[in-house]
Amino acid sequence: MVVKAGLVEIGWTLVFQLINTIIIFLILRKLLFKPVSEMMAGRQNAIAESIKEAENKNKEADQLKLEYQRKLEGAHAEGRELIKDASKRADARADEIIIQAQQEAMKIKDRAEADIQREKQKAANMMKEELAALAVMAAGKIIGKDLDEKGHDKLIKDFIDEVGETTWSN
């Protein structure tokens, strides 16, 4: 019995073709579909693991980045502190140098004043000696005789005692 319905004939040939197609499907399913499905599932799992691993690496990288930023900020803060401390030390050293310079200037001034006082005293003593020598010469002319060394010294000493030390120190 052969029934024709358009392009396909319904008959034993169709039944055999259907049975052959089912057998080929089952064979292909067992030999091809299952390994391909397993391979696809394995590939899908590998991709999922790679994605998870990438996400974990990204999280790690973010944590490292945050840690690096914290360390960098700490280093900046430490640098600012070091600069601040160095500035304070420099200011303190500058103050020390100024104080030392002022002390040295005071010492120089004191030495200069002492030198001036010594020079004044020296000049006053020289004036006393010259005045005494003039007085002796004048006295010698008035007396009319030359004094010897002892007499000369005695006359100078008496003159100085008579005039007094206070009038010469001014």
Q: What type of residue is 29?
A: R
CA atoms within 13 Å, Cβ hemisphere of 59: 6
Q: Which parts of the chain register pLDDT below 70?
A: 1-8, 140-149, 152, 155, 163-170
pLDDT in tens, 76-111: 999 999 999 999 999 999 999 999 999 999 999 999
- Residues 78, 72: Cα–Cα separation, whole Å: 10
Domain boundaries, the chain: 3-169
- Residues 86, 79: Cα–Cα separation, whole Å: 10
pLDDT of residue 3: 53
Residue 61 per-residue DSSP state: H
- Residues 163, 128: Cα–Cα separation, whole Å: 10
pLDDT of residue 38: 87
pLDDT of residue 170: 47
